[in-house]
Structure 1
């Protein structure tokens, strides 16, 4: 496998979008965001309209990372282009969305702790893409996909806005929060106590003094706080953790997290079950050895979809051999499957 970029059959178009929803966000993050759009082979030579598939990135991800190269692995955009270049998959427009924050991510939700990233996606980026490119501008020809926190976005966004997205694909998306999040609470409480006197302000002061030298531990602290900023921030922006200094759950705050668990949403709220039933196609997968037990979350979401009455023919579910990382080869498989469902 060549270590440099391949010639593309389609093309990428990058523009900058000035978001009204992200202007004056509580973290002071940029309100001007890159929008990266893949246009399939033949786009410029025809007047055809295409289904659109939106890609949500995982935690700490931003759009500039998509073309990162590692040994013996191709970046996702090149894998995507190679798939469409075969002509075996109906062409689609693929939109890479940037929802980064200084905390590493937003979970693609509206929150007083991070900003209005859900509204930014659904009410700004989607209309912007539909106006600028030749999409088939309706929910039955529009899907969202992603991995990890991006997979979480792929699950919850159509539940919250089934009028915007009519299909989804989730790779190891955050789900079954009791399994994927709660076991970390005592560990994070102990680490924060031992390294930063139990104080997130002290952590942030230390973290910001070491720009460019972040450790894995830093990212784990940041991620937990970022989830809390998305799920359990007060109206004034105060971020509340779902556990105390002993790592024990604070029930009223933890319940706010659970209300945004895609499994809990579907199994306890009829409106979300109805939204899921309305989707044309649902792809769910994860690695059997996922380090965060998101294979169990994937299985739980698939089971919830069946219990909600989603017909089996609309579902694709697979647990494959692998962990949480290095699974980008799965992404084009899902996009190809979605393209077929959205075209049919």
Structure 2
């Protein structure tokens, strides 16, 4: 009897444990199924979000590549020829009364053409401008503003003939020479054609001012001859400034992304200027007034080469 009771007790405990095991298995299976469903839902939502982001990238327009150089600097050197309108020298020689009294001088002549050398520094800013053929086209018109400073070294000379007092001196001729240094500062507008070939033609022009300094001026009278007499000898230096206008056209060639070389033609115009040189002071020469000299408009034809560097795009 005791064994039968013990057997029944053990059988009942086993049945209860079986029931508990079945219940826990069902519960665990349900939790796993729910977790799998959550995972599948999360993965599906992530895939949907990835699809939305990809679609947004396709729909959103790409930002166009910037073509303008932004802020830049360049160095230039070159040379050419200079011509100008008439040179005029005026003053008075105080001849004694026995020789007819004071002699007026208004000597006019056409200057010779001379070569000139140029060195320059510039900086500017170039914008993206206007695309030709669509927002991603590499063809574009790019505007820029530049500030350019030039140095030009040249020489002015010519034979000047006195046009007054001809009744006293039938032939009165001066041979004048003026070593000249010029500094010009200009503001230019420039338009470049951007191309896919790393070669960019451009044109530009602008206005500014130029200062012209003459040092070591010499005025020798050829007729009647006065050898060894410089009529400006008491002061041979003078300077003046006036309006300057320039235009240019050239080609720019990429060396690297930021560095380029260029070749260009420049035309520079400087308006007329006036100078006052010293009077003639020699023991063997009659005294004179200080001499006034007028340079007509100056025209420079220049060939220039240089390099530039962009700090911008």
Return the TM-score normalized by structure 2: 0.19
In proportion to residue count, which structure has more strand? 2
- Between structure 1 and structure 2, the one with the greater Rg is 2
TM-score scaled by structure 1? 0.18
Higher helix share: 1
